[in-house]
Structure 1
Amino acid sequence: MGKSKTTKFKRPQFNAVGLPVSVTKDEDCEEDHGDENCPADELLEKLQSPNADMREFACASISRVVQQSQTIPGFLQRDAVRRLGPMLLDSSVAVRETATGALRNLSACGGQEVCEEMVKEDVMTPLTALLRECCSGFEIAAVPMKDQRSPVENVANEAVNLLWNLCESNTQALSIFNKSGLLDVVVQCLEKYPHNVELAISAAHCLHTVTEDNPELLCSINTTVLGALENVLLSTQDCMAYTLLRALAAGTLWNMKSSLPASHQAQLLNTVVATLSKCLDIDAGTLIPKLRHAEEDRLLNTASIPGVENETSRDINVDEMEEDEEAPNPKRNGKAAKIDNDISDLLPRGREELREAMALLTAQQTSLEIIVNMCCSDDPSDDEWEESSSSDESELGPDGLCDGVSSLMSPLCLSAEVHGALISHHIPEKVLKKTEFPRPEAIDACHQNFSWKPLIKRLGRVQSRALTCLHSILSTMDVESLGGIAALQEAAQRLSSLVFGAPEIPKDAEFLEAVTSALRSLLQMIASKNIPQCITPQQLMSLSEAASHCDVVSVRVNAVAILGITGSMLAREKGTADSIKIVGNALLQIASKDGDLVVNGEALDALFDVFADGNEAEMAAKNIQLLPALKALQPVFKAKIRKEGRGKYTPQQLCVLDNVKINLRRFISYLEKVVKK
């Protein structure tokens, strides 16, 4: 039902301390404990203590308690934000750090609504003042010794992360960022990368967020900002933290491209893509086992030194840090926002190998998301959907019943410069490589240690992002750019093995959404070149069955589209009536029984394509009684649009559904003529 639009990634909402948004287990959250055991009163009272140690203790305790999301309302009801705000400018540096950390955790664990409340309580005023004081303190602070961190920089790191969360979740915070000159302050934090890469990464994350779709800020970009980002890209340190830092800088520069002189854009584009390409070159499946073994060796050596604590005795309880992925939340524009989680801030300083592994996976996920955004930068607007989905019957050709919709199947527009840079740096091949399942060696290495287990989901997320990225690339490039027919057939075999290689199709919704999107784009491209399909009817049915149990609408839509593409190809061949019959029955079932109108419409649209022409399709249509089935379905479909459509679906979706409704009537007329032959 129209082209499969590529997904443009917004930055996932990282929890400030790396915890899931709801760190408590589901069963803990189901019971409402009320205020009976709420520690808010006592802890907030201690903030007024004249003793700095007591104030620090209170802030640190609040920071820990609000990680349990059910405690947050109790703190908000007692004006925690207003009472913590002045602590950001406390005379004690330690209090400043813990108070900022408490607000950082509150913003992360409370989500968007809490961030909005914090901005209403004017937390941006003391936060802005704190960041300015921190940057002034950079110049006068003594240069820290190796492996030591400046207290001022520790405070700045907490503050930048709080700023990042607020700007991600609240437009007013972003507006204050733009007007308060905070860009220069965050850039100063970025420039600390030679000796404090943790602070620089926090600043880079923040810059990557605030520069996306923010034309007001881009007007203030100057040579100092660009120079700092370019210096980061030119850094030569090998560790994975710097790989992540460079990827974030590349993404920020891409966001800023419109503010650069035209003469500088080509060079910038090549540098950005080269940075992302190098990041994707690293094989996490090989590196993670090496890092895990290096950690084991180091801990064994440390354990033999008297008086030194063995870090294995301090392993993190990952039962509370396991990611609690939420189903994608549909947005008005049809894109989805996902919750993402990061545990790196919880890792003890000594867990350097684990930090390296986390940094690499975050860098590769970020790089893939940037490439998706690059492919979507020239994406047609939603208005184009409305224009192309007009219900004016005069736009529909007499024979091509779905011309008004199928025109949307054309590839998206990709500028020649972006296209050339992606091809010259072999991005399609590298992305395809990343779509493979993680190496068993890496999975085994992560399973062997409590603290490393969260990396397993990180590995899966990189794979899912690669699949989404592949979908974007397939939607924006032609066959020749992708290496020709042989390359497409290889890609089809790889994707088919991901879906059908195991005894049963994976049920993870994020993976299913990504792999079905990629497979749909690839099969559409293969069909356009009349290349033989690689999926059997039996495999199609298993995919359709797996998708039918998925709550994510886009997964079901993709599965239906794959059925339609394959069925259309079968209709061009001889002796395929039985296979077409299987496809047709499946599509009729979905068109009549799926609970979502968009899925119903996609199934009808697929039926139009499969049974539009050909002797094999005619025989199959008679066998499955397609004409009476569609006649029975027609009034039901029209009634559902009238009853459910206006309040539940977007104007763009309704326009496409209206088009399907018209095509259904015309297709029934076509089938009636076929029967009379």
Structure 2
Amino acid sequence: MAEAAAEGRRVVRQLGTIMGKTKSSKFKRPRVSADGLAAGAVKRPSGDDEEAVETDEDSPAAELLEKLQSPCADVRELACAGISRVVQQSQTIPAFLQRDAVRRLGPLLLDPSRAVRETAAGALRNLSACGGPEVCEDMVRQDILTPLVTLLRECCSAFEVSSAPSSQEPKHTVEGVANEAVNLLWNLCESSTRAVSTFNRSGLLDVLILCLDRRMQNVELALSAAHCLHTVTEDNAELLGSVNTAVLSALESVLLSTHTGMAQTLLRTLAAGVVWNVKASLPAAQHAQTLGALVATLSRSLELDAGRLVPELLQAEAARFATGGGSAAATEGMEEHMPADRGVGAGTEEELEEGDGEVHLNGLGRSRKTSGKEDDFSDLLPRGREELREVTALLTAQQTSLEIIVNMCCSDDPSDDEWEETSSGDEAEPGADGLLEGNSSLLSPLCLSAEVHGALIHHHIPQKVLLKAEFPSAEALAACGKTPAWGGVVKKMYRVQYRALTCLHNILAAMDTESLGGPVGLQAVAQHLASLVFSSAEVLKDDEFLEAVTSALRSLLQIMASKNIPQCMSPQQLMSLCEAATRCDVLSVRVNALAILGITGSTLAKQPDSAETLQMIGNALLSVATKDTNLVVCGEALDALFDVFADGEEAEKAAAAIRLLPALKALQPVFKAKIRKEGKGKYSPEQLCVLDNIKINLRRFVGYLEKQARR
């Protein structure tokens, strides 16, 4: 039966990505608005809802939309700004959609007044951000991209001749209009594949490159363009043919720039992400050099110590405010790289308010609602918050760097293979250090090209990722806690940690053991993860932390088990982690916890006097297999049981003690019936395939236990 169980494990692991197995995964941002909204879509009202909208006398939509037709530019501008403010409340959006707000605002993108163009783009940007993916799709269906493309082209052609404010419109520049337009484009492309297709057909790549080239005149516009480029180049094979020498030269120029300031650091990081996305377009002779520059950029971003810089910059801000503006020293190296005030979106310190997951700008400016994972609102911070802008740019750069490394270490991407086929493999210079001062290997694993592997090791990326996986500095957390306006920084610091743990998971899955410092290095990583997991009971209540740390721990334990490397965490400690994880609502966390128990149990089964601990693990797995309402989780628990009790004297003793055979015999028809009853409605074909294999393995495993019992 051990052969049957082994065969079952082999089949399940072939489909490991479906059940959450140890295969490394590519980091993909959720398809939400570029402003970071993960809120549900706001649909157009219909039927009774439509009638309710029509009769809602309190709705400001009708009045504001009517004013868009005013012959007075000032009235049109104020109406656009009013819409921008009102649609922050998602419940108001259906009223605007029902009254064709998109079709009414679209022509104003080409209004004779620059101020109207900017505020109209801002209103549409807010509508796309606060409405969610379905509203973005609806905007694309209503052809908002036609005037938007025209506006972007006109802005770019006017950069050199009229980028300064005019005497009639002193607060509105061509670059300010372009920035709003690029952000709207970014939102649409983030949420709509149709928008990305239109982007490709319209030749907007060159437009964004022109915006990127304005980085010294307007870094805010360049950052918006870089963010948009990072989005539209991801998994976009159709666009690769448009990536010509001029595009690559512009990206290389950003990548190799030496300008100081966190905004420029973020800009270089985003350029690195774009280069990685379009690497298939690079000439073969440039691969090694470009990859070296790319990884060096990520390395420099990760080297920056947010734990030290956050308190320093917060103190600099406080000192500047205390002196009514601060000394030049307080803002040295920053002012040069901060964007000028914009009409739409500018605000004072008093106008900036923060709540739970929401940021508002009072007055006529734009606002961004935020929820959950992506709450970057740096472009909404007023001029009085230069230091906060710096910190936000730094943490965004580090988060983005880690996400890029996650993708670099992912073996699923076909373009990775293309890179490997054209790589020379001997031009990268491997470093001498492993993860923790161990020896590096001159041989790269199959899932990474020699160039990628060598560059990551040469720039000590594994070590730097491990450092970022630590909890944020207590000093930085305390400093931010005393300043309400800096409260959002705390979330961003934790997000960097979570991304580092996810990155560590992929590094462990993609790199060979020796490159990670050998057994000593892996044990040190295990100790580090243990110090995080068991630092306090509170950390085990954070779903995002649990998801990241259990993924990393699972990969690490799997590698250590396969290499027979002892690990530092006791079964009791792992049990406490898994108990917390199995109570989590996040499916992947529960699956990771069960896999960790399976790995631990299968290792212990080979050791003497382990029956008592195996009983504890077996009971925990049985409880989940019989009680969890999700079949994927039940299947993972059963698969772990197969691993733990496949063979060995200690496993036999433990199986008898917990009455594993009668428990599984009773579960067998129930599990089969659930698959038949619930499967097609709730689970994908791939998941059903895996569950069907587990069902077969369960039957075989019961037969194996029955054969043991008859001996």
Q: TM-score, normalised by structure 2?
A: 0.84
Paired amino acid for 2:81: A
| Aligned mates of 2:446, 2:544 — CA distance in 1 | 23
1:43-95 CA distance string (max 9 Å, x none): 00111111111111000010011111111111000000000001101111011
Is the alpha carbon distance of 1:320 and 1:43 closer, same or farther for their aligned partners in structure 2, counting shifts above 3 Å?
A: farther
Equivalent residue for 1:287, pick from 302, 306, 309: 309
Deviation of residue 669 (structure 1)?
1.5
Deviation of residue 36 (structure 1)?
3.5
**Are positions 1:180 and 2:216 aligned together?**
no
Is the alpha carbon distance of 1:454 and 1:144 closer, same or farther for their aligned partners in structure 2, counting shifts above 3 Å?
A: same
Q: Is the 8 A contact 1:467 1:518 kept in 2?
A: yes
| Aligned mates of 2:348, 2:190 — CA distance in 1 | 36
Is the deviation greater in 1-10 or in 644-653? 1-10
Q: Which residue of the partner structure matches residue 276 of structure 2?
A: 254
| Aligned mates of 1:204, 1:566 — CA distance in 2 | 44
Q: Is the 8 A contact 1:15 1:21 kept in 2?
A: no
Deviation of residue 421 (structure 1)?
1.3
Q: Which residue of the partner structure matches residue 345 of structure 1?
A: 379
Indicate the RMSD between aligned Cα atoms, in angstroms.
2.5
**Are positions 1:316 and 2:316 aligned together?**
no
Is the deviation greater in 499-508 or in 100-109? 499-508
1:192-219 CA distance string (max 9 Å, x none): 0112110000000011111111111110
**Are positions 1:170 and 2:192 aligned together?**
yes
Secondary structure of the equivalent of 1:318? strand
Deviation of residue 614 (structure 1)?
1.3
Q: Which residue of the partner structure matches residue 652 of structure 1?
A: 686
| Aligned mates of 2:413, 2:629 — CA distance in 1 | 29
Is the deviation greater in 578-587 or in 234-243? 234-243
Secondary structure of the equivalent of 2:323? helix
1:601-628 CA distance string (max 9 Å, x none): 1111111111111111111111000111
Report matched runs for 1:352-431 at 5 Å.
352-379=386-413, 413-431=447-465
**Are positions 1:490 and 2:509 aligned together?**
no
| Aligned mates of 1:313, 1:236 — CA distance in 2 | 31
Report matched runs for 1:634-649 at 5 Å.
634-649=668-683
Equivalent residue for 1:7, pick from 1, 25, 44: 25
Q: Is the 8 A contact 1:464 1:510 kept in 2?
A: yes
**Are positions 1:135 and 2:124 aligned together?**
no
| Aligned mates of 2:669, 2:41 — CA distance in 1 | 48
Paired amino acid for 1:131: L
Q: Is the 8 A contact 1:438 1:460 kept in 2?
A: yes
Equivalent residue for 1:238, pick from 250, 257, 260: 260
Deviation of residue 490 (structure 1)?
0.8
Deviation of residue 139 (structure 1)?
1.9
Deviation of residue 481 (structure 1)?
1.1
| Aligned mates of 2:33, 2:652 — CA distance in 1 | 56
Paired amino acid for 1:365: Q
1:243-302 CA distance string (max 9 Å, x none): 110000000001111112222122211111111111111111111111100100111111
Q: Which residue of the partner structure matches residue 131 of structure 2?
A: 110
Q: Is the 8 A contact 1:23 1:321 kept in 2?
A: no
Is the alpha carbon distance of 1:20 and 1:598 closer, same or farther for their aligned partners in structure 2, counting shifts above 3 Å?
A: closer
Secondary structure of the equivalent of 1:421? helix
Q: Is the 8 A contact 2:462 2:516 kept in 1?
A: yes
Q: Is the 8 A contact 1:587 1:607 kept in 2?
A: yes
Deviation of residue 539 (structure 1)?
2.0
Structure 1: state its 5+ residue gaps.
Answer: 25-30, 306-310, 325-336, 382-410
Q: Is the 8 A contact 1:323 1:341 kept in 2?
A: no
Q: Is the 8 A contact 2:118 2:177 kept in 1?
A: yes
Q: Which residue of the partner structure matches residue 61 of structure 2?
A: 40
Is the alpha carbon distance of 1:520 and 1:222 closer, same or farther for their aligned partners in structure 2, counting shifts above 3 Å?
A: same
| Aligned mates of 1:446, 1:118 — CA distance in 2 | 39
1:382-438 CA distance string (max 9 Å, x none): xxxxxxxxxxxxxxxxxxxxxxxxxxxxx8722222111111111111111111110
| Aligned mates of 1:115, 1:579 — CA distance in 2 | 54
Q: Is the 8 A contact 2:36 2:374 kept in 1?
A: no
Is the alpha carbon distance of 1:167 and 1:379 closer, same or farther for their aligned partners in structure 2, counting shifts above 3 Å?
A: closer
Deviation of residue 320 (structure 1)?
5.3
Paired amino acid for 1:9: F
Paired amino acid for 1:360: L
Q: Which residue of the partner structure matches residue 140 of structure 2?
A: 119
| Aligned mates of 1:196, 1:12 — CA distance in 2 | 29
Deviation of residue 120 (structure 1)?
1.0
Q: Is the 8 A contact 2:164 2:174 kept in 1?
A: no
| Aligned mates of 2:646, 2:75 — CA distance in 1 | 77
Q: Which residue of the partner structure matches residue 457 of structure 1?
A: 491
Give the total of aligned pairs: 623
Structure 2: state its 5+ residue gaps.
Answer: 1-11, 14-20, 43-48, 328-346, 361-370, 416-444
Q: Which residue of the partner structure matches residue 319 of structure 2?
A: 297
Deviation of residue 23 (structure 1)?
13
| Aligned mates of 1:544, 1:672 — CA distance in 2 | 29
Paired amino acid for 1:316: L
**Are positions 1:541 and 2:541 aligned together?**
no
Deviation of residue 166 (structure 1)?
0.7
Is the alpha carbon distance of 1:551 and 1:365 closer, same or farther for their aligned partners in structure 2, counting shifts above 3 Å?
A: same
- Hey, which bits of structure 1, 4+ residues long, moved more than 3 A? 11-24, 31-34, 142-145, 320-324, 377-381
Paired amino acid for 2:24: T
Paired amino acid for 1:562: I
Q: Is the 8 A contact 1:20 1:109 kept in 2?
A: no
Q: Is the 8 A contact 2:357 2:372 kept in 1?
A: no
Is the alpha carbon distance of 1:52 and 1:312 closer, same or farther for their aligned partners in structure 2, counting shifts above 3 Å?
A: closer
Paired amino acid for 1:105: N
Deviation of residue 316 (structure 1)?
2.3
Secondary structure of the equivalent of 2:243? coil
Paired amino acid for 2:113: S
Q: Is the 8 A contact 2:348 2:382 kept in 1?
A: no
Is the alpha carbon distance of 1:131 and 1:313 closer, same or farther for their aligned partners in structure 2, counting shifts above 3 Å?
A: closer
**Are positions 1:578 and 2:612 aligned together?**
yes
Q: Which residue of the partner structure matches residue 336 of structure 2?
A: none
Is the deviation greater in 249-258 or in 9-18? 9-18
Is the alpha carbon distance of 1:504 and 1:457 closer, same or farther for their aligned partners in structure 2, counting shifts above 3 Å?
A: closer
Secondary structure of the equivalent of 1:317? strand
**Are positions 1:157 and 2:214 aligned together?**
no
Equivalent residue for 2:588, pick from 554, 557, 568: 554
| Aligned mates of 1:477, 1:493 — CA distance in 2 | 19
| Aligned mates of 2:613, 2:413 — CA distance in 1 | 36
Q: Is the 8 A contact 2:508 2:556 kept in 1?
A: yes
Is the alpha carbon distance of 1:446 and 1:504 closer, same or farther for their aligned partners in structure 2, counting shifts above 3 Å?
A: closer
| Aligned mates of 2:537, 2:686 — CA distance in 1 | 39
Q: Is the 8 A contact 2:230 2:273 kept in 1?
A: yes
Is the deviation greater in 176-185 or in 526-535? 526-535
**Are positions 1:472 and 2:509 aligned together?**
no
Q: Is the 8 A contact 1:247 1:276 kept in 2?
A: yes
Deviation of residue 13 (structure 1)?
5.6
Q: Is the 8 A contact 1:13 1:339 kept in 2?
A: no
Paired amino acid for 1:184: D
Is the alpha carbon distance of 1:609 and 1:321 closer, same or farther for their aligned partners in structure 2, counting shifts above 3 Å?
A: closer
Equivalent residue for 1:214, pick from 210, 224, 236: 236
Q: Which residue of the partner structure matches residue 8 of structure 2?
A: none
| Aligned mates of 1:674, 1:415 — CA distance in 2 | 47
1:100-139 CA distance string (max 9 Å, x none): 0000010011110000110111100100010011001102
| Aligned mates of 2:37, 2:555 — CA distance in 1 | 35
Deviation of residue 365 (structure 1)?
0.7
| Aligned mates of 1:315, 1:496 — CA distance in 2 | 43
| Aligned mates of 2:254, 2:647 — CA distance in 1 | 58
Paired amino acid for 1:121: Q
Deviation of residue 321 (structure 1)?
4.3
Q: Which residue of the partner structure matches residue 427 of structure 2?
A: none
Is the deviation greater in 481-490 or in 313-322? 313-322
Paired amino acid for 1:62: I
Is the alpha carbon distance of 1:447 and 1:315 closer, same or farther for their aligned partners in structure 2, counting shifts above 3 Å?
A: farther
Deviation of residue 313 (structure 1)?
5.7
